[in-house]
Chain A
């Protein structure tokens, strides 16, 4: 079975541009979460979607937005890119939103570099 897949693997953009990152969850998983990981730090929570509805939002500016599609895949959009947005963006999927036994499974991430 395929795990969590993310595309693209690497991306180079310049300041002010827009970027879209994509994530396909494990088959049967309905919850997708996005995280930003800056070099040397733990991942920071950005968004969670469950059944196509936003269920959580971290402390990120409105330049960051996301959505989940009927097939449970998800997109993360970042507008007006800043140098500080350079990071590894991770997507995680889980079977359901809130049960304590739900394990989050992560994709390999998208490495975004903003020049």
Chain B
């Protein structure tokens, strides 16, 4: 059974810092892994999807990496801005299964 954890649970950084959010999964036979952003009380916005055959994906200031052998994915945010403040969730999908979400990392970027 796939289990997903995220560290840290919460993070507060000053504006302009580069930061890394971590996601760990127990079943390395994943199909893909997707990172989402969630603003308070809102739905999820897809940020990046990494297929099992890929090592990383980039979109603007965001870069996500995937290491199946170690069961880890990281989301790198460059030059953080107050508008990046949100909860970031990762979700792993194993073969024949549906997405399993982590509990999220709550990010606050201080101006």
Contact = CB atoms under 8 A, between A and B. Distances in A.
Interface of A: 4, 6, 33, 35, 40-45, 48, 56, 58, 88, 90, 92, 98, 100-109, 111
Interface residues of B, number: 26
B71 interface: no
A8 B91 CA distance: 26
B44 A106 contact: yes
B43 interface: yes
Contacts of B100: 45
Given A41-B103, A43-B44, 16 more contacts: A6-B43, A35-B101, A42-B4, A42-B101, A43-B89, A45-B100, A56-B97, A58-B98, A92-B44, A98-B96, A101-B32, A103-B49, A104-B99, A106-B36, A106-B46, A108-B42
Contact of B49 (A42, A98, A101, A111): A101
Contacts of A104: 34, 46, 91, 99
Contacts of A109: 42-43
Contacts of A105: 46
A100 B89 contact: no
A90 to B, nearest CB: 6
